[in-house]
């Protein structure tokens, strides 16, 4: 199965295990140097950001500043994310299927977001384009997830992730 949708409507895409070049020689110090990395198992990654509706279904609250049930949840820290995935995994519908959710590793995230490229982002190195692509609107809001305006590299790839790594 290459894709599936879980009990709260999150879509997931299968990412195959692979070796790839990770890091960036011109990026932040913690990204240097470029080095070989291997994802030893296939894994599923959410195709789109968690929406405010999905977050509320699991957590019972929404602390987002830029409201809209189809918009990505924001103002969520690492601890909130871990709690979200634990609670999602404990939903009866998810326990029946055996689905267990977690944050991806740094290597898994970088591989999926770069969509096979070695640039900073799946569409190149332009930070202005990265801001536009991220769905942020000059600090005044967000755009709905599941949007069709994904960058061409991702839209054409087997990954299809709405992320900017």
Q: Provide the pLDDT for residue 85.
A: 96
- The reported pLDDT for the residue numbered 152 is 34
Is 163 within the bounds of a domain?
Answer: no
pLDDT digits (tens, 9 = 90+) for 120-144: 666 667 766 666 655 555 555 566 6
Is residue 162 a part of any domain in this protein? no
Task: Look at residue 161 and tell me if it is in a domain.
Answer: no
Interior CA angle at 50 toward 22 and 81, to 5°? 70
- The model's pLDDT over 23-76, given as tens digits with 9 standing for 90+, comes to 777 777 877 788 788 888 998 988 888 999 999 999 999 989 888 898 888 889
Measured between alpha carbons, how far is residue 22 from residues 18, 32, 152, 156 in Å? 12, 9, 21, 21
DSSP lists the bridge partners of residue 14 as 44
Query: Rounded distance, CA 5 to CA 69, Å?
Result: 18
Measured at the CA of 84, the angle between CA 83 and CA 89, to 5 degrees, comes to 100
Outline where the chain has alpha helix (H).
52-59, 78-90, 92-97, 106-114, 127-134, 152-156
Structural domain total, the chain:
1
The pLDDT of residue 154 is 35
pLDDT > 70? residue 1: no
The answer to whether the beta carbons of residues 53 and 72 sit under 8 Å apart is: no
pTM of the model: 0.75
Does residue 153 have a pLDDT over 50?
no
Give the domain CATH number at 94.
3.90.1580.10
- Asked whether residue 101 is assigned to any structural domain, the reply reads yes
- pLDDT above 80 (res 101): yes
Residue 164 placed within a domain: no
In terms of residue numbers, what domain contains 9?
3-156
115 within domain boundaries: yes
């Amino acid at each position: 199965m290459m894709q599936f949708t879980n009990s709260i409507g999150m879509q997931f895409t299968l990412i195959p295990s692979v070796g790839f070049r990770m890091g960036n020689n011109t990026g932040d110090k913690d990204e240097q140097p470029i080095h070989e990395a291997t994802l030893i198992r296939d894994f599923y990654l959410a195709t789109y950001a968690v929406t405010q509706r999905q977050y509320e279904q699991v957590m019972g609250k929404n602390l987002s500043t830029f409201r809209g049930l189809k918009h990505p949840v924001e103002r969520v820290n690492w601890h909130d994310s871990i709690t979200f995935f634990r609670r999602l995994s404990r939903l009866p519908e998810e326990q029946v299927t055996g689905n267990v959710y977690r944050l991806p590793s740094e290597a898994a995230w970088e591989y999926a977001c770069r969509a096979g490229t070695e640039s900073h982002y799946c569409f190149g190195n332009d930070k202005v384009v990265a801001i536009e692509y991220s769905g942020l609107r000059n600090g005044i809001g967000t755009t709905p997830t599941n949007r069709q305006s994904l960058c061409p590299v991702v839209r054409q790839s087997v990954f299809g992730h709405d992320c900017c790594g």
